[in-house]
Structures are given as structure tokens and as C-alpha cells.
Structure 1
Amino acid sequence: MSFKTRDATSTDASHVDRLLRSLADFEGVSDDLTFTLADIERALSESGQFHALVAECQGQVAGCVTYTWDFAIWSGGTILRVDDLIVDEKYRGVGVGTALMRALAERALERGAKMRWEVEPSNENALKFYARLGVTLRNKIVARWSPTKG
């Protein structure tokens, strides 16, 4: 099976939306999603903050990886923060995820940036996948806070 990776554009928003929602379903957090398709379209076309690569197999979007660029205070430089890597279930095991991560690594290398992301500890397939890529996995607790007025 052949596939290619490319930058996602606003015309890919429905595919990115579908894949993100499938991941949220898998992780049991669908109720936490508050973005809309219009939000993704706008972010991919206007914001400059949100980026994605997609992998196409036989004319179909088979997976995507979403990311942002940020400043890493500890290293004093740019960091590529991977948000989500999602491969459609029917395309898993054929190299789509590896191709997406390698394409993303090329972007990071071009800017002299390191890459960083979070993985759910219960997602054993993801942990094994990243280990096969040679990724260093560390245990770390992620804190999230939604402050309110009052």
C-alpha cells in the first residue's frame, strides 16, 4: 500500500475533525471536545498556531498528526509540540504513523527544534509504537486547570 504525507489545509478540516473525534472516542473523552469543524477550518487556514500533516492512501486521508510550535524555556529554543497522532484503524500497521512522525521530525530538524508530546499511559499500542521509533518515554503527570472568575 502506498501513501504520501503532506501539510493539511482548511479543505482537510473534516478529515482532521473525524480523526480527532475517533481518538476522543477511543480515550473515552468525547464529552470534553468543544471545538467545531469551523474552528478547525479557521485554525488550519488563519491562525498560524495550529498545524497538521495528513497521510493519504489511495486518495483517502488515512491519518494525521497535529502540532504547534512553541518556546521551550529549559532549552531556550523552539519546540514542536505534537498534539495528536491518529491513524484510521483500517490503515494501521502499514507505516502511516511512522511516515507522519518522520515527516514531522523533518520539520523539527529544519528549525533546530526538539519534539515533545503526551501519551496516555493506558494506550499500550502507542507506547510500543513510540518505543519502536526510538522515542524516550518518561512518566510525568499532566496538570490541566480551567480557572474561573470568582
Structure 2
Amino acid sequence: MNNFQIRKATPEDTQTIFDLIYKLAVYEKLENDVITSVEELRTNIFEKKFAEVLIAEEDEKPVGFALYFHNFSTFVGKPGIYLEDLFVEPETRGKGYGKALLVELARIAKERNCGRLEWSVLDWNTPSIEFYKSLGAKPMDEWTVFRLDKSGIENLAK
């Protein structure tokens, strides 16, 4: 990993972030769900600061990213970090880059006195599930994720 680094994303990275999000969506067979734009990402990540992004680079070329934001645990009484997306380019997998991104997130969580670092993974993504378990992460099998999409929010907010 001599030519590898992780750095915080800047507004100039927004197109790269969008491209990596799209590649992740293709991997997850969800590319039709990507409805955002580069401009919307720039506004929400760098101006409104709703999320943060780490960029993984090999030979100064982006090869992965982690997009995360803070949540809060009422039971623990502390903030946590929620990892929304983690992606490493297929041709660079197996080099430890995904683990390095998670290690950096754990360092950030420790530095910020977070009580938890959490994320979701698709049920069919066995390689990722096994990878996360190898790091000591535990699946939260007793929980079910619920979601209101834009129309659901509109209907409920009436």
C-alpha cells in the first residue's frame, strides 16, 4: 500500500464522488435508483454539510470512497457514525483498501467520542457480509429497516 492514501474529499471531488456512487449502484444492481446530480451532491455534502466523504487513492487515482454522517443513540447518549456507502473499485479489491477506509472511519469515530459505527449491507452481498464479520462487526438481525421515500414523506406530511 505504498502508493495508497485516504484523504477527506473536497468540493473538487464531487464528480468523482458521483462516479463512484454510480459504480456502487451498478454493483448493487440499483443504477436506476441514482437520481441525484453532481450539483446536488456538492450542495448537500460541502455547503450544507449533511455528509462527509473519504476518498481512497492509489497512485493519486480515486479507487474507492466512504460516505458517512452522524446519527445519535439515545440509549448510549452519544453521537455515532452511519456509513451510508463504502465502495472499492473491483480491480483494486483484495489490497486492503476497504479495510483501510473502515479503520479510518473507526479512528474518526474514536476521535469524536462516538458510541457506534453502523452501516447496512444487502442480504445477498455475502462477500461484504463475511468481510464485515471478519472485522468484528455484528449483524443486527433483530432489526428491520423502514423507509419513507419522497412520495411517502409527502403523503405523511400532509
The match for 2:108 is 107
Per-residue CA distance 1:58-88 (angstroms, 9 max, x = gap): 0101100000012222222101010010001
Give ranges in structure 1 of 5+ residues lacking alignment: none
The match for 2:120 is 118
Percent of residue pairs bearing the same amino acid type: 28
The match for 1:56 is 57
Amino acid at match of 2:119: W
1:143 aligned residue (142, 146, 149): 146
Mean CA deviation greater in 92-101 or 27-36: 27-36
Q: Is the 8 A contact 1:9 1:44 kept in 2?
A: no
The match for 2:76 is 75
Give distance in 1, aligned partners of 2:89 and 2:40.
22
Give distance in 2, aligned partners of 1:8 and 1:79.
20
Secondary structure of 2:69's counterpart equals: strand
1:87 aligns with 2:88: yes
Amino acid at match of 2:78: G
Q: What is the Cα deviation at residue 49 of structure 1? A: 1.6
Secondary structure of 2:54's counterpart equals: strand
The match for 1:43 is 44
Secondary structure of 2:95's counterpart equals: coil
Instruction: After the TM superposition, list the runs of 4 or more consecutive aligned residues in structure 1 that deviate by more than 6 angstroms.
Output: none
Secondary structure of 1:82's counterpart equals: strand
Q: Is the 8 A contact 1:81 1:116 kept in 2?
A: yes
Amino acid at match of 1:141: T
Q: CA RMSD in A?
A: 1.4
Give distance in 1, aligned partners of 2:145 and 2:46.
29
Amino acid at match of 2:14: A
Give ranges in structure 2 of 5+ residues lacking alignment: none
Give distance in 2, aligned partners of 1:45 and 1:105.
22
TM-score by structure 1 length? 0.93
Give distance in 1, aligned partners of 2:10 and 2:73.
26
| Aligned counterparts, 1:1-16, within 5 A | 1-2=1-2, 3-16=4-17
Q: What is the Cα deviation at residue 138 of structure 1? A: 2.2
